[in-house]
Amino acid sequence: MRIDAHQHFWLFDPVKDSWITEEMAVISRNFLPNDIGQILKDNNFDGVVAVQADQSHQETDFLVELSGVYKLIKAVVGWVDLRSEAIDEHLAHFKRSPIIKGFRHIVEGEVDPDFLHRDEFLRGIAALTKHQYTYDLLIRPRHYASTLKCVSVNPEQAFMLDHIAKPPIKTQEFDEWAAFIHDLAQYENVHCKISGLATEADWKHWTLDHFTQYIAHVISCFGKDRVLFGSDWPVCLLAGSYEDSIRIVEDKLNDFTEAELKGFWGDNAVQFYSIT
């Protein structure tokens, strides 16, 4: 089964989606599964993991509702208030929807560098572990230290690093990011999506070579069984086509065996998110 492990769907609202600025006008509209269905077929994908883009319980319900209509959604990574004292009640509620496999918080938008290691957040992560949910890490460099602390004290939690931690591809800076990736990959409960790369490069002038050192380092550190593909559609449209998101990665996989390629393009996502 070929799975795109990172897609978003939304009904555009300029207030709710204020993160979409004027320069991002190409994605300031509705995006629903009908808009990507044929493209997925053309590229031989069987389904997708729908990931939250808004921080509300309504967002999670919205993705669940979509999954009931569009069977291409094989898993949902929603949002839940991990810092709520009622976290167990919230998770018990979401357990009624088995399509929900995990949750994410947009930590990259948090100014606090220690956000991931605050007591109230760690309580939420512990609840995810208890209820057997995954957690997607969306971070910026200021969160590197607290990410490592969070992961180190939660050895039983399944973590997925989104967008290879958004390295500064546009400027080709490497060392700080590379050191973090090396340290994070030491924790075997952490997996990594090779996703969302074009939008970290120069949107108009990137080449395939701009991504080589970053993808090679991630594969070297995490190994071939803990990396997987995600397009970050429709956000990827800011810097290229859906097919571009595939091209950026596929020419870097020449030493993968047939089984390892099947893992990267789908089986690793199936295993991590318990997709049936």
Mean pLDDT over the full length of the chain: 98
Q: What is the pLDDT of residue 271?
A: 98
Mean local confidence (pLDDT), 109-129: 98
Q: What is the pLDDT of residue 2?
A: 98
**Cα 163–chain centre separation:** 6
What would the pLDDT profile of 206-237 be if each residue is shown by its tens digit? Answer: 999 999 999 999 999 999 999 999 999 999 99
Q: Which fold has domain 3-272?
A: TIM Barrel (3.20.20)
Count of Cβ atoms closer than 10 Å to residue 210 Cβ: 18
Q: What is the pLDDT of residue 128?
A: 98
If DSSP states are collapsed to H, E and C, what string results for the chain? CCEEEEECCECCCCCCCCCCCHHHHHHCCCECHHHCHHHHHHCCCCEEEEECCCCCHHHHHHHHHHHHHCCCEEEEEECCCCCCCCHHHHHHHHCCCCCEEEEEECHHHCCCCCHHHCHHHHHHHHHHHHCCCEEEECCCHHHHHHHHHHHHCCCCCCEEEHHHHCCCCCCCCCHHHHHHHHHHCCCCCEEEEECCCHHHCCCCCCCHHHHHHHHHHHHHHHCCCCEEECCCECHHHHCCCHHHHHHHHHCCCCCCCHHHHHHHHHHHHHHHCCCC
Indicate the pLDDT class of residue 19, thresholds 50, 70 and 90.
very high
Q: What is the pLDDT of residue 249?
A: 98
**Model's pTM, two decimal places?**
0.97
Q: How far apart are CA 20 and CA 2, in angstroms?
A: 29
Question: Which burial class, exposed, middle or buried, applies to 68 when counting CB atoms under 10 A from its CB (0-12, 13-18, 19+)?
Answer: exposed
Q: How far apart are CA 11 and CA 17, in angstroms?
A: 9
Q: What is the pLDDT of residue 59?
A: 98
Q: What is the pLDDT of residue 210?
A: 98
Q: What is the pLDDT of residue 213?
A: 98
Report CA-CA distances (Å) from 157 to 131, 182, 189: 10, 19, 7
Report CA-CA distances (Å) from 126 to 57, 60, 157, 218, 237: 19, 20, 8, 27, 35
Indicate the pLDDT class of residue 34, thresholds 50, 70 and 90.
very high
Q: What is the pLDDT of residue 202?
A: 98
**Four-point Cα dihedral 22, 167, 46, 7, nearest 10:** -30
In the chain the first and final C-alpha atoms are separated, in Å, by 10
Q: What is the pLDDT of residue 170?
A: 98
Q: What is the pLDDT of residue 56?
A: 97
Q: What is the pLDDT of residue 145?
A: 98
Q: How far apart are CA 71 and CA 140, in angstroms?
A: 33
Q: At what angle do helices 175-184 and 144-152 cross, to 10 degrees?
A: 10
Count of Cβ atoms closer than 10 Å to residue 61 Cβ: 16
**Spans of all domains in the chain:** 3-272
Task: Please provide the size of the chain in residues.
Answer: 276
What would the pLDDT profile of 131-180 be if each residue is shown by its tens digit? Answer: 999 999 999 999 999 999 999 999 999 999 999 999 999 999 999 999 99
Q: What is the pLDDT of residue 101?
A: 98
What would the pLDDT profile of 47-102 be if each residue is shown by its tens digit? Answer: 999 999 999 999 999 999 999 999 999 999 999 999 999 999 999 999 999 999 99
Mean local confidence (pLDDT), 104-119: 98
Phi, psi for 206 (deg, rounded to 5): -75, 155
Q: How far apart are CA 239 and CA 260, in angstroms?
A: 28
